[in-house]
Chain A
């Protein structure tokens, strides 16, 4: 009995193992600290190098200063300038538009408390799956990549006009078949290498279009791009197969990558990398592998994403030292972490936003509570099956009058008040209300049950047998099925509201909650009477063909309501081929009017952006493009709260 393995021996072994584990872990930690020190030293070296470069430049004086005077203000073109020596790059006879280098929309430097340094912590709702340009597919990845990489052009935060970012000038073919861009000679990637035309060509033709790179999402939107040609070191030309307005976005809206960096890696390595971003933007990622040999230093999901200021940024440097992106999935956890000071910005839920403002008047003294509509706000809607359901049965919604009546029966103001706590505005059509493509004079249909009843009666739906339910002349009762994604409380409440509203008017509604992955199938099959959903937005205008054109009623198209309207088709075709922006916006406004009149959807709500931001930061401006964190600064007068 005595030499049996006893409890005491067990504990001794466990203790021994624990000690060994501790020793091993402390060794691991030591190497980790050492690695950190090494990167810090590396950074110091780099700074010294930069200082030396600066010194050399100073000694050389301004001899090398480019003779091109960049027009300030970033606006307007100067026609007929081609022919001057410095415009040798341009195609003659076509208008050149010139742009100032990127600059802040609101100058932070003159504001009170401006200081350099500080860390801004944004708390995401989920982890980005990976941070590799064009391969990353979630919004969180995109938000990080947007801080690190720059495109040839970007939207002006105040005017929403597309302006040059890496490009200092460009020409757009009046027929829309080519675009020529001149890259700012000062533009540098974060390792100091100049941005050249070859980088642009490589990004498009050898990265996005490379079938070995898993960038299918971007690749499939570039079907229309034929070729990217290098004209000279600084000039690049995009050639398109067809004249479409989206060509401009294709050329100017995609981040440009450094060829010398990405070409070091095999396509397989790029596909499976988790944190491989380098660009010419105001920030750069903290853990960037230098080559294929040390890919293991890269960021991996589970860690915070840390971006550092790009010390050699070629335009106005940001004030903040670091941007950190954490993620907390739980709604309450996010708010608590924000309150505890673990984050500088969160996206509160609608009830949280209102509850905090209502219950704690003190809250806004230390935090900004921001709510505004910008170009990235999508809209939610109820879609009516205007064609045959699953290609077989007709629904009552093929009649425009019925669809209009359905909208008028729904009190959308009350819905927003009851379901979304009053946050949101009633949507009137497919265009974002901030966008110039939206006509302010188009108003949402009113809530008007009386008029709705009249419209339904006109379409033949009346209560003929006195049972309180509408029938048509054949005696069929008016009933439909309402499909929604069973994804949470809001969807359930919305379904109840819809059912109540219509049953009050004598329309029978059955509800069908389905799983989101089944949803996709139903949309594809056109297997629904009415379905609720939301469309997102990312730019002031997007190609309406996919959703509204009658050609898109085929599978693969997103016109799942099978709405066919020849006037809309005509406007879409016309708009897509109109290169002039003002003229095109006019076409989109006409299209919006047609859709608002026809009501293939009942447009429900435009959801504004909600943000809580600590008042420790200055120059927090709400723009029509969203937020611009590179313009924030940490207010120096506010003493930093002591660590933990």
Chain B
């Protein structure tokens, strides 16, 4: 058994890597980019959007313009607990502080000679009792480095635009090498000979000079910040294994650029909501469907079997969207029944409630926080469970019927075992296997949330989170989510295998 478990656990690692790599590639190859989310404000394009500039900034900030494989490896490095390279620092508020990022060499080195890389000699504040000044100095240098970097990124973008203009002016065949987006990738023009007679030559020269100058400044500022970083203004983060090369640190899921918040914060806000609703919904669907399935099987062909079958199947065929609209339009609308609230998870005054219901001094009934919550989730839960009855109960019924005809059941009946014991001890126990297979499917489903129901009832759960992320191409959220669900799914499958062995003595992994 232990052997089996170990083998399965080891196999999980390549599986997870494969899944995340596939998702990463899919996202990288999908048409459209992050620009859409930046350009729209409230459904309409905003007038003064400087989308291109914003995009250049974000691409640099989150490394979206590197080759896809590099980006994937970087992502892996972040979520891996074993990390390589420079150790991060932790500032007073517990946030990770990384070394200032490398700046790309200025492009078009073969056209205009770029400046030599500057070497900065700089002694940062250090020593006992100087902590305060050291931190202040580091913060200032960090800020200068970011500012200089931003200026360089802007000038590099301008250079590419000017190059495109220059090439257009030069005419065919150069224009064929322009990117489909109309921009110029300097790499494509390695064999371009500059022609001072070109009307855009002056502008190009100026843009290149400006870019080189900004690069020198940015590189200097970066080096200065790096030296200050090396002096360790904050304590080191994680545990070193091989100094300067390998260390252990907590996985980092990254920052969602569309919301500008750590992905972990977003997930930890959305997950409890989804879990809560699912934890109420799943037991209900099992507690209703499994017993009715058993009953239907024992009275096969009877009125209960037929009635429950018809009812469950007709429920199964109602689309969730329609059910949600009906629930809101009739059950929640005060013009009709008005029994339930329309949306949200709590009453607006819920934070002042006591937890359990009680009668106050005046004898009025106070519902309390718990009942208020249950009352709010009633409709979403209803929409979540009604369709699940059919599959579960039909599965139970089919598995039970198969076993009813088995020899050992006939034997048990013949030797006079009470009917209830035959049904529960013999038949039901042996019908558990297909149920277990379905049961483990619950775990990933619990994390995923339901997109449709969450939208209709405005529940801030995992479903809404992921669908928004897909709309805006926010890779960090999608990846973190896929990663999590993949892990849970793999563990659930392992759990299923173990449960098989527990439920069925014939299964063993020795």
- CB within 8 Å of B: which residues of A? 22, 25-26, 29-30, 32-33, 36, 121, 127, 129-130, 135, 137-140, 210-212, 214, 216-217, 220-221, 266-269, 271-272, 274, 292, 300-302, 304, 324, 326-330, 332-333, 336-337, 339-342, 378, 390-391, 515-521, 524-526, 533-538, 542-543, 546-547, 554-556, 558, 644
B 133-173 binary contact with A (CB < 8 Å = 1; else 0)? 00000000011001101100000010001001100000000
Decide: A517 near B36, CB < 8 A? Known: A129-B259, A272-B261.
yes
**B342 contacts A534, CB within 8 Å?**
no
Dominant SS among interface residues on chain A:
mixed
Interface residue from A137, A516, A538 paired with B471 (Cβ < 8 Å) = A516
Measured between alpha carbons, how far is A300 from B261 in the docked complex, in Å? 11
Q: A25-B370, A302-B273, A340-B334 are in contact. Are A211 and B149 (CB under 8 A)?
A: yes
Knowing A36-B352, A220-B50 are in contact, say whether A333-B328 is a contact too (CB < 8 A).
yes
Looking at the assembled complex, report how far the CB atom of A344 sits from the nearest CB atom of chain B, in whole angstroms. Answer: 12
Whether B46 lies near A536 (C-beta < 8 A) is: yes
**B233 on interface, CB distance cutoff 8 Å:** no
State how many angstroms separate the Cβ of B481 from the closest Cβ of chain A: 17
**Alpha-carbon distance A560/B324, docked complex (angstroms):** 41
Shortest beta-carbon distance, A540 to chain B, in Å?
12
Q: Flag if B181 contacts A524 (CB, 8 Å).
A: yes
Say which residue of B143, B165, B355 sits within 8 Å of A30 (CB atoms): B355
For residue B95, give the distance in angstroms from its CB to the closest CB of chain A.
Answer: 5
In the complex, whether B269 has a CB less than 8 A from a CB of chain A is yes
Minimum CB–CB distance from A222 to chain B (whole Å) comes to 10
Q: A212-B143, A330-B456 are in contact. Are A292 and B93 (CB under 8 A)?
A: yes
User: When chains A and B are docked, how far (Å) is the Cα of A637 from the Cα of B41?
Assistant: 39
> What is the 8 Å Cβ interface bit string for chain B, positions 412-435, against chain A (1 contact, 0 not)?
000000000000000000000000
- Would you list which residues of chain B between 473 and 501 have a CB under 8 Å from chain A? 473
Across the interface, do B343 and A337 meet the contact criterion of CB distance under 8 Å? Answer: yes
Contacts A129-B260, A525-B180 supplied; 12 other A-B pairs, CB < 8 Å: A211-B146, A266-B93, A268-B91, A302-B269, A328-B458, A329-B464, A339-B334, A342-B341, A515-B31, A518-B32, A520-B35, A521-B35
Q: Does B42 contact A (CB under 8 A)?
A: yes
Q: How far apart are the CA atoms of A556 and B39 in the complex, in Å?
A: 12
Name 6 interchain pairs, CB-CB below 8 A, sorted by A.
A26-B354, A292-B93, A328-B343, A329-B455, A337-B343, A517-B33
Q: Is B405 part of the contact surface with A, judged by Cβ < 8 Å? A: no
Specify the chain A residue showing the minimal Cβ separation from B57: A216
Please tell me if B351 contacts chain A, counting CB pairs below 8 Å: yes
Query: What residues of chain B lie closer than 8 Å to A217, measured between beta carbons?
Result: 38, 54
Knowing A336-B342, A390-B180 touch, does A546 contact B47 (C-beta < 8 A)? yes
Is there a chain A Cβ closer than 8 Å to B123's Cβ?
no
A271 to B259, CA, bound (A): 10
Judge whether A216 and B58 touch: CB under 8 Å.
yes
Q: Does the CB pair B342–A304 fall under 8 Å? A: no
- Given A301-B269, A330-B343, A330-B457, decide whether A130 and B260 contact each other with a Cβ distance below 8 A: yes
CA distance A216 to B149 in the complex (A): 13
Minimum CB–CB distance from B452 to chain A (whole Å) comes to 10
Bound state CA distance, A217 and B369, in angstroms?
A: 41
Q: Which residue of B lies closest to A377 (CB)?
A: B44
- Min CB distance B437 to A, Å, is 19
Please name all residues of chain A whose beta carbon is closer than 8 Å to the beta carbon of B42 when the two chains form the complex: 138-140, 536
Inter-subunit contact A29/B181 (CB<8 Å): no
A-B CB contacts (within 8 Å), total count = 219
Given A211-B149, A221-B48, answer yes or no on A300-B269 (Cβ-Cβ < 8 Å). Answer: yes
Which partner residue on chain A sits nearest B336 by CB separation? A336
Whether the pair A272, B262 counts as a contact (CB closer than 8 A) is: yes
Assess whether B3 is interfacial by the CB under 8 Å rule.
no
Q: C-beta contact mask, B325-343 vs A, less than 8 Å → 1, else 0?
A: 1001100111100100111
- If A336-B332, A517-B33, A554-B161 touch, does A211 touch B147 (CB 8 Å cutoff)? yes
**CB contact under 8 A between A521 and B47, given known A127-B460, A340-B333:** no
Cβ distance A349 to chain B, nearest Cβ, rounded Å = 12
- Which of A130, A214, A326, A524 contacts B344, CB < 8 Å? A326
- Asked if B353 is an interface residue, CB under 8 A from chain A, the answer is yes
Cβ contact within 8 Å between B261 and A266? no
Check if B186 is an interface residue, CB within 8 A of chain A: no
B288: chain A residues at CB < 8 Å are none
Q: With an 8 A cutoff between CB atoms, is B15 at the interface?
A: no
In this complex, what residue of A is CB-closest to B56?
A556
A331 to chain B, nearest CB (A): 10
Contact across chains for A271 and B269 when beta carbons are under 8 A apart:
no
Q: Are B161 and A25 in contact (CB under 8 A)?
A: no
Nearest residue (CB) in A for B175 is A391
Contact A525 B47 (CB under 8 A): no
Q: How far is the CB of A339 from chain B (nearest CB, A)?
A: 6
Cα–Cα, bound, A302→B38 (Å): 22
Residues of A within 8 A of B472 (CB): 517
Report the separation of the CA atoms of residues A273 and B7 in the bound assembly, to the nearest whole angstrom.
43
Q: Which residue of B lies closest to A392 (CB)?
A: B175
Query: B residues within 8 A CB of A32?
Result: 351
Residues of B within 8 A of A327 (CB): 458
Is B318 interfacial (CB 8 A cutoff)? Answer: no
Chain A residues with CB under 8 A of B353: 29, 33
With both chains docked as a complex, state the minimum distance between the C-beta of B159 and any C-beta of chain A, in angstroms. Answer: 13
Task: Name the one of B34, B47, B347 contacting A537, with C-beta atoms under 8 angstroms.
Answer: B47
Chain A hits for B130, CB < 8 A: none
Contact partner of B48 (CB less than 8 A), chosen from A36, A518, A521, A542, is A542
A220 to B54, CA, bound (A): 7
Judged by a CB distance under 8 angstroms, whether B206 is at the interface is: no
Bound-complex Cα distance A537 to B178 (A): 34
Contacts of B455 in A (CB 8 A): 329-330
Nearest Cβ in chain A — how far from B168, in angstroms? 9
A555 CA / B351 CA spacing, docked (Å):
51
The winner among A135, A391, A555 for most chain B CB atoms within 10 A is A555
- Using Cβ atoms and an 8 Å threshold, which residues of chain B touch A129? 258-261
Q: Which residues of A contact B41 (CB under 8 A)?
A: 137-139, 536
- Give the Cβ gap from A547 to chain B, nearest Cβ, in Å: 8
Residue of A nearest to B329 (CB): A332
B32 touches A520 (CB 8 A): yes
Q: How far is the CB of B298 from chain A (nearest CB, A)?
A: 17
A339 touching B333 in the complex, CB below 8 Å, given contacts A536-B45, A555-B183: yes
Query: Chain B contacts of A546 at CB under 8 A?
Result: 47-49
B348 at the interface (CB under 8 A from A): yes
Nearest residue, chain B, Cβ from A322: B348
Which of B40, B157, B164 has the most chain A CB atoms inside 10 A of its CB?
A: B40
Closest to A273 in B: B261
Write the chain B residue with the least CB distance to A304. B348
Residues of the A chain whose Cβ atoms lie less than 8 Å from the Cβ of B53: 216, 220, 556
User: Min CB distance, A404 to chain B, in Å?
Assistant: 25
| Complex alpha-carbon distance, A547 and B270, angstroms | 40
Are B47 and A536 closer than 8 Å at their CB atoms? yes
Known interface pairs A340-B333, A533-B45. Does A520 touch B33 (Cβ–Cβ under 8 Å)?
Answer: yes
A546 to B50, CA, bound (A): 9
Residue of A33, A269, A337, A521 near B342 (CB, 8 A) is: A337
A137 to B36, CA, bound (A): 13
Q: How far apart sit A390 and B181, CA to CA, in the bound complex (Å)?
A: 8
Closest A-B pairs by Cβ, 4 of them: A517-B32, A139-B42, A536-B44, A26-B355
User: Are A518 and B54 CB-contacts (below 8 A) given A330-B343, A536-B45?
Assistant: no
Cβ contact within 8 Å between B33 and A301: no
The answer to whether A517 and B269 have CB atoms under 8 Å apart is no
B369 CB contact (under 8 Å) in A29, A140, A340: A29
Contact B93 A268 (CB under 8 A): yes
Cβ contact of A521, chosen from B32, B54, B142, B354, cutoff 8 A: B32
Residue numbers in A under 8 Å from B199 (CB-CB) = none
Closest to A32 in B: B351
Please tell me which one of the listed residues A22, A25, A127, A538 contacts residue B47 in the complex, with CB atoms under 8 A apart. Answer: A538
